[in-house]
Amino acid sequence: MLDIKNLKVSYDDVLAISDVSLTVPEGQIVALVGGNGNGKSTTLRAVAGLNAAGAGTITFNNEPIHTMPAHKRVPLGLSLVPEGRRLFPRLTVRRNLELGAFTRSDKHEVAAGIDEMLQLFPILKERATQLAGTMSGGEQQMLAIARGLMARPKLLMLDEPSWGIAPKFVTKVLEVIQQVNARGVSILLVEQNLQKALSIAHYGYVIQTGRIVMHGKGQELLHDERIKKAYLGL
């Protein structure tokens, strides 16, 4: 579904990622993991069109998109849930969901989509009229994922979904990601929490200083001695 080849991205002539290649097969959860500042978010933003690709290609469903404006990538089936959630804090849960469907013109379908999200995320149903900024970090993360799903993506990209939320909500968020994947949505998951991410990923890539240094099945990486020593402290 998604194929990145030899991707390079720079910020003000400073190289952020160099020669990154990875693939997300249809229907799978793929994790891109590594420490802070190694290029995970930069890679996601390049796929979404928020960072320009200095070199390399990005192909989505056999269509090159690396030169396409960001707003034209969403209708193709790409949706990004950004790090830090980036909700509209002074708007209600329901209004945030509506804004996630900005590419959809059928009001009845949008209303049905909101009902579907409120069923998928019961906590949001309880908070439908509450301002997003007054919810806990974990509840906000649920809303951010639901808002991303309102675009009806084929590929949902999640940037650090465990960031800034209580441990009990981290487990819940991972369960939700698996539920979303079971509904047929492919997932590209960026995480510093290697253990959590690789535990649910079909396949994983480890990025370090802007380069992919390891890749393999999620469970294989999780039990790799190099991963345990370098990232898990085991």
117 within domain boundaries: yes
Q: What average pLDDT does the chain have?
A: 92
47 within domain boundaries: no
Cα separation values, 42 from 36, 140, 171, 181, Å = 11, 23, 25, 23
169 pLDDT more than 90: no
Answer whether 209's CB lies under 8 Å from 49's CB. Answer: no
Order of strands, sheet of 29-33, starting from the edge strand that comes earlier in the sequence: 78-81, 155-159, 186-191, 29-33, 203-208, 211-217
68 within domain boundaries: no
Closest CA to 191 of 54, 32, 14, 37: 32
pLDDT score, position 37: 87
Contacts of 197 (CB under 8 A, 6+ apart): 31, 33, 189, 191, 204, 218
184 pLDDT more than 60: yes
2 within domain boundaries: no
Identity of residue 158: L
> Does the predicted model carry a pTM greater than 0.95?
no
> At how many degrees (to 10) do helices 137-149 and 167-182 cross?
10
pLDDT score, position 107: 86
pLDDT score, position 163: 84
> At how many degrees (to 10) do helices 167-182 and 107-120 cross?
130
Spatial separation of the C-alpha atoms in residues 43 and 210, rounded to whole Å: 9
80 pLDDT more than 80: yes
Answer whether 46's CB lies under 8 Å from 58's CB. Answer: yes
Give me the percent of the chain exceeding a pLDDT of 70: 99
228 pLDDT more than 90: no
Mean pLDDT calculated for residue range 68-84: 93
3-state secondary structure 79-107: EEECCCCCCCCCCEHHHHHHHHCCCCCCH
Question: Could you tell me how many residues make up the chain?
Answer: 234
69 within domain boundaries: no
Mean pLDDT calculated for residue range 65-80: 95
234 pLDDT more than 60: no
Helix residue spans in the chain (DSSP H):
40-48, 70-73, 93-100, 107-120, 122-126, 137-149, 167-182, 194-200, 218-222, 225-227
Contacts of 84 (CB under 8 A, 6+ apart): 160, 163, 164
Query: For the domain that residue 83 is a member of, what is the CATH number?
Result: 3.40.50.300
Our count of domains for the chain comes to: 1
Spatial separation of the C-alpha atoms in residues 187 and 27, rounded to whole Å: 8
63 within domain boundaries: no
pLDDT score, position 233: 58
Answer whether 56's CB lies under 8 Å from 10's CB. Answer: no
- Range(s) of the domain holding residue 109: 25-38+77-232
pLDDT score, position 232: 64
pLDDT digit string, tens, across residues 4-47: 999 999 998 889 999 999 999 999 999 999 888 899 999 999 99
pLDDT digit string, tens, across residues 128-139: 999 999 999 989
Q: How confident is the model at residue 125 (pLDDT cuts 50, 70, 90)?
A: very high
228 within domain boundaries: yes
Answer whether 14's CB lies under 8 Å from 209's CB. Answer: no
224 within domain boundaries: yes
